[in-house]
Amino acid sequence: MMASGQQTPIIVVAAEQPEHYLVIDGYQRVAALEQLGRDTVEAVVWSLSEAEALLLDRSMRGGEQATALEEGWLLVELSQRFGYDQEELARRFDRSTSWVSRRMGLVELLPASVQQQVRSGAIAAHVAMKFLVPVARSRPDDCRRMAEGFARYRLSSREAGQLYAA
């Protein structure tokens, strides 16, 4: 970027205040331009609401696979800020309500320390959704202890399931 400048415009939507915009895609480009001392950014303005722009941006990233936690963060944001219920989110993401619930559970129910273990790869997201989220609902301390064991021994889904069942 330093030698050739900004190659791809960021995507923004109009904010509530006139002449203000919300970045939908391009935070890293903005940060890089700031580091270079640039005070302007090329942008494409989408004539959509923020929620619709977030959904469109996500759908356009077909090849880029978001992590389960990233999907969970987006689902929780759409639910809390924009009032989408799980059925609407399932329809918008072309998934089941169970898929939506499991990903939201990663964000809403798992303790931060366990989320960090999932983010770092010490615990697979599938293992966390299947075995840790249900425990976190009623016994967060047990969830933390189970997560420590899952991470320490790098348990497979099958091994985690056997421990969970026991």
- Which amino acid, 111? P
Q: Is residue 10 in some structural domain?
A: yes
User: Could you read off the pLDDT of 60-71 as tens digits, one per residue?
Assistant: 886 677 899 999
Q: Which of 120, 126, 165, 164 is nearest to 145 (CA)?
A: 164
The pLDDT of residue 161: 93
Q: Is residue 130 in some structural domain?
A: no
Question: At a CB cut-off of 8 Å and minimum separation 6, what does 83 contact?
Answer: none
Q: Which domain range does residue 56 map to?
A: 1-64
Q: Is residue 142 in some structural domain?
A: no
Per-residue confidence band for 57, with pLDDT thresholds at 50, 70 and 90: very high
The pLDDT of residue 63: 60
Q: Concatenated DSSP letters for the chain? A: -TTT---S-EEEEE-SSTT-EEEEE-HHHHHHHHHTT-----EEEE-S-HHHHHHHHHHH-TTSPPPHHHHHHHHHHHHHHH---HHHHHHHHTS-HHHHHHHHHHHHTS-HHHHHHHHHTSS-HHHIIIIIHHHHHH-HHHHHHHHHHHHHHT--HHHHHHHHH-
Residue 1 clears pLDDT 60, i.e. is over it: no
Residue 55 clears pLDDT 90, i.e. is over it: yes
The pLDDT of residue 2: 58
Q: Is residue 16 in some structural domain?
A: yes
- Tell how strand 43-46 and strand 10-14 pair up: parallel
**Mean of pLDDT over the chain:** 93
Q: Is residue 145 in some structural domain?
A: no
The pLDDT of residue 61: 83
User: Could you read off the pLDDT of 80-133 as tens digits, one per residue?
Assistant: 999 999 999 999 999 999 999 999 999 999 999 999 999 999 999 999 999 999
Per-residue confidence band for 5, with pLDDT thresholds at 50, 70 and 90: confident
What CATH number does the domain containing 41 carry?
3.90.1530.10
Q: Is residue 136 in some structural domain?
A: no
